[in-house]
Structure 1
């Protein structure tokens, strides 16, 4: 494997002037459709890479590399990077940016032009960098605000080799992803993320380090993969319970799960069997409790519904 640069001698990262020069070269106008807010502050890139704690033997998945600011920082810390980019213009330019700013590291980069919501282990393997010995083990990304949660959950579902990661999302989304049961912001994203991993908020990023500057702050969310709370029922069955519980979050679980169970009495029976007070609301339960409800629902013959993405 090609080794990353010596961390004792930090290599230059893209400056604000570099980012604007690249954008002008490509006649690129950032769009909200693709969530294009490019990081223009090298110190912020260094902060993200340090917080991600990626090692020199790791293969990192980066979603939405844009003009390559974070990509260069990741190549300095990790063994290889596979970048997934939906914009054909920036996807085509990224390898040349790496060649210009990190000569000798070209074999450590793979680029997949496509939608992150469609990635699979097979599609990533098709563009695997020559320097990588396997699939990605870490996810580090500045995720587009409008699709951050579904993209993160899709990556965790499709890529079981991902062991840890750090993503930058809208600050309020970061709060929701990392929220514990019982908190005001706990909901569907919190519970579903907890199925896959231990999740925590790792910091806040201001608006002025981006071009164009967003209206609100960004949050860093770190995760570490863990085993799901049950093997007795599928993820889809558990997520169907989660979706039903939060569809009407002001209702008690006895009422909220009536549609899932077929009736309120059937919901109460499954809840009591799972050791959950039927008068409880969904925001009080952790993912293990939702899993127990799904298990007892299956035992009682409840089919449930397909979960939302």
Structure 2
């Protein structure tokens, strides 16, 4: 079966050769080749035949078509033009799969997130943060989000204050997403080609706009200003920015540093 060939290195190489495709690090093209691990990750999504799923970074369709067998519809984004021909040909056997070519950060619209959708993405290091910020804009339309991330990004997301990994992304992440256990470790040797680091699959529940109303980009910009002045106290930073806190923050210690 087609979807099983994605988990064989030899058949995967043959597919890439047939379509004259070359893998690039820029797009994070490391494909999961362990079927059991793929199914384990899918369990985090709790898929049903009524679900609508959005996938970011379909690649050759490793997860796309496994998901399509279990849900009402899949809208899959793919940035690499070379892979679009392959995906469009393979998706002819799936009436519930829509392939959208282009950079998700540029082409995604609210119309791609009807009602409540579930989202899956294997995010490369160089675009993971930007995509998570973009997804936060659609948070009221996302029921659950399963992401496969390099471990370094996961450490930054879960970092404790005063640790070297703690920063603007940590604050953004904890403000817009809630991590639901368990986290699934995916060793680097379970990908082709093997990346330099291991990864982890995480189930995220986006917080609603009622819980955090700020636009994600504005939030990031605001928090970044504090981290640019880490040697100063909160009081001095607020003075520099000509900002005043309202009564909700009267207990805040303004003598601390970010």
Question: Does residue 1:117 correspond to 2:105, yes or no?
Answer: yes
Please state whether the residue corresponding to 1:280 is helix, strand or coil.
coil
User: 1:255, CA displacement in angstroms?
Assistant: 4.1
Structure number with higher strand proportion:
2
Root mean square deviation, CA, Å:
2.7
Deviation sequence 1:52-106 (CA, Å, 0-9, x none): 223321111111111111112211332211110011111221132244xxx4xx2
Change beyond 3 A, Cα 1:182–1:24: same
Question: Does residue 1:278 correspond to 2:258, yes or no?
Answer: no
Structure number with higher helix proportion:
1
Distance in 1 separating the partners of 2:25 and 2:252: 43
The structure whose RCO (Cα within 8 Å, separation 6+) is larger is: 2
Question: Does residue 1:190 correspond to 2:190, yes or no?
Answer: no
Q: 2:235 aligns with which of 241, 254, 270?
A: 254
Distance in 2 separating the partners of 1:272 and 1:180: 27
**Residue 85 of structure 1 contacts residue 115 of structure 1 at CA under 8 Å; is this kept in 2?**
yes
TM-score by length of 1: 0.72
Change beyond 3 A, Cα 1:220–1:258: farther
Change beyond 3 A, Cα 1:278–1:86: same
Structure 2 residue ranges without an equivalent (≥5): none
Runs of at least 4 residues of structure 1 off by over 6 A?
A: none
Q: 1:81 aligns with which of 69, 74, 84?
A: 74
**Residue 247 of structure 1 contacts residue 256 of structure 1 at CA under 8 Å; is this kept in 2?**
no
1:292 aligns with none
Q: 1:216 aligns with which of 197, 220, 229?
A: 197
- Greater shift, 30-39 or 176-185, is seen at 176-185
Question: Does residue 1:29 correspond to 2:4, yes or no?
Answer: no
User: Looking at CA atoms only, which structure, 1 or 2, has the larger radius of gyration?
Assistant: 1
**Residue 175 of structure 2 contacts residue 212 of structure 2 at CA under 8 Å; is this kept in 1?**
no
Structure 1 residue ranges without an equivalent (≥5): 1-10, 126-133, 283-309
**Residue 133 of structure 2 contacts residue 216 of structure 2 at CA under 8 Å; is this kept in 1?**
no
Change beyond 3 A, Cα 1:142–1:280: same
1:152 aligns with 132
Change beyond 3 A, Cα 1:272–1:250: farther
1:305 aligns with none
1:11-160 mapped onto 2 (5 Å cutoff): 12=4, 14-15=6-7, 16-99=9-92, 103=93, 106-121=94-109, 124=112, 134=114, 137-158=117-138, 160=140
Deviation sequence 1:119-151 (CA, Å, 0-9, x none): 3335637xxxxxxxx466111111122100111
1:293 aligns with none
Change beyond 3 A, Cα 1:281–1:14: same
Distance in 1 separating the partners of 2:232 and 2:100: 44
Change beyond 3 A, Cα 1:123–1:270: closer
Change beyond 3 A, Cα 1:110–1:175: same
TM-score by length of 2: 0.84
